[in-house]
């Protein structure tokens, strides 16, 4: 008798759990083995720097499924175990305990890992990172006792951590080497909005500043100034976890490179989530973004492709944040280094506005800040890819629906 079909999922996060779910929904009745490095069942990461960190979200709500779901759907979950090697020729993976598993199809959902500080003192015990639920627990405990913290990096993790710390009554200094927060993600105009938001809430925002050293009492900057801090939180970005793929000989370039159906350079190995640098048919190039929406939606495409069905991932990149009284959603993609303009509709000072990123008068990305009834229209504008009049785009009296060509 032939061996039963076995699909192995390397990774224990949202993408891994959604892949197992999608495979069952697509009718796959073979063996599914999900191998996750962490000792926990797969969970979602956004709450770790938002509601869960601030104590508003209960722990059980972060998990994608409970243990009963995996039993009911015959998913063999191996927590606290790592895939240490992939042998594409033998169709086998090696686990951290030495066991070798045969696979027919393999999905890499290994995610990303935080960039680490490299300055002197980077390994001191009060340096914290935020990637896992255990990291979030440790940081939450720190915020309950600390008087002041220093946050290195004014990206999403850094700013959400700062907001959580201020909500806990902790004094915060944010150190950012760029001239505005979120400069790479949103540009200087919208970055300035977040700078003002945090300053209004008492954050000491040090822009254009470089970290020189982590000291026992806090941090020292390149200009020689010292910032006292009970803890230092490093939020300086993440890198895709491609070691496994690279060692297996897969094509790696800013992540594991895949086709639109999330297939890697090996026809029986797929990738999804933060680690995947996938060809995007709508955008006409490879895109890798470390956003919740990719980990949520890509696995269904990978599952279909693993089962030999036609599939392509065409969802626009999407992310969101909640900081203080500001809620924001962003849809679309502005490739790094792309020349573009920003058009704003609404009241920036009141932080209730829409923003549009334009290239050649076409909307390539859009964002809503504290405005929640325009999501469909924003998406339609980005998908249409048609020239728009900037004056009309900025004018709140012009309905966004009028700017979307009929049939688009």
Q: Write out pLDDT tens, residues 326-343.
A: 999 999 999 877 878 999
pTM of the shown model? 0.94
Give the domains, in start order, of the chain with CATH numbers. Answer: 6-113+238-306 (3.50.50.60), 116-234 (3.50.50.60), 325-403 (3.30.390.30)
Q: How far is CA 338 from the centre of its chain?
A: 21
Measured between alpha carbons, how far is residue 352 from residues 42, 246, 332, 333 in Å?
Answer: 35, 45, 20, 22
* pLDDT value for 389: 94
Asked if 354 contacts 345 with a C-beta cutoff of 8 angstroms, the reply is: yes
* pLDDT value for 339: 78
Q: Give the residues of the chain that fall short of pLDDT 50.
A: 1
Asked if 140 contacts 233 with a C-beta cutoff of 8 angstroms, the reply is: no
* pLDDT value for 337: 78
* pLDDT value for 1: 46
């Amino acid at each position: 008798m032939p061996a039963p079909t076995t699909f192995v999922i390397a990774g224990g996060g949202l993408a891994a759990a959604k892949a197992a779910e999608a495979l069952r929904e697509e009718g796959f009745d073979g063996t599914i083995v999900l191998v996750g490095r962490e000792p926990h069942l797969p969970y979602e990461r956004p709450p770790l720097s938002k509601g869960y960190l601030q104590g508003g979200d209960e722990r059980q709500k972060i998990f994608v499924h409970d243990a009963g779901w995996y039993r009911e759907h015959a998913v063999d979950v191996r927590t606290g175990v790592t895939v240490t090697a992939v042998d594409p020729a033998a169709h086998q993976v090696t686990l951290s305990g030495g066991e070798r598993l045969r696979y027919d199809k393999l999905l890499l959902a290994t995610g990303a890992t935080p960039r680490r500080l490299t300055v002197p003192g980077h390994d001191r015990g009060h340096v914290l990172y935020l990637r896992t639920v255990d990291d979030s627990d440790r940081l939450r405990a720190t915020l309950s006792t600390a008087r002041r913290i220093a946050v290195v990096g004014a990206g999403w993790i850094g700013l959400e951590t700062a907001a959580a710390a201020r909500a806990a009554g902790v004094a915060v200094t944010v150190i950012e080497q760029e001239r505005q927060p979120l400069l790479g993600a949103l540009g200087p105009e919208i970055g300035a909005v977040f700078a003002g938001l945090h300053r209004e809430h008492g954050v000491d925002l040090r822009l254009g500043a470089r970290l020189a050293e982590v000291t026992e009492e806090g941090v020292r900057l390149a200009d020689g100034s010292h910032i006292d801090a009970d803890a230092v939180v490093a939020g300086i970005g993440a890198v895709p976890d491609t070691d496994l793929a690279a060692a297996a000989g897969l094509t790696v370039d800013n992540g594991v490179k895949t086709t639109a159906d999330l297939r890697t350079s090996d026809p029986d190995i797929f990738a999804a989530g933060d680690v995947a640098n996938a060809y995007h048919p709508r955008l006409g190039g490879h895109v890798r973004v470390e956003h919740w929406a990719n980990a949520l939606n890509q696995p269904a495409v990978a599952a279909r492709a693993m089962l030999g069905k036609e599939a392509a991932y065409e969802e626009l990149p999407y992310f969101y944040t909640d900081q203080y009284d500001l809620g924001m959603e962003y849809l679309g993609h502005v490739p790094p280094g792309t020349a573009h303009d920003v058009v704003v509709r609404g009241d920036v000072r009141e932080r209730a506005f829409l923003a549009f990123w334009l290239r050649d008068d076409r909307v390539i990305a859009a964002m809503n800040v504290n405005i929640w009834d325009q999501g469909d229209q924003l998406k339609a504008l980005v998908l249409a890819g048609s020239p728009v009049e900037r004056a009309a785009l900025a004018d709140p009296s012009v309905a966004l629906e009028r700017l979307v060509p009929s049939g688009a």
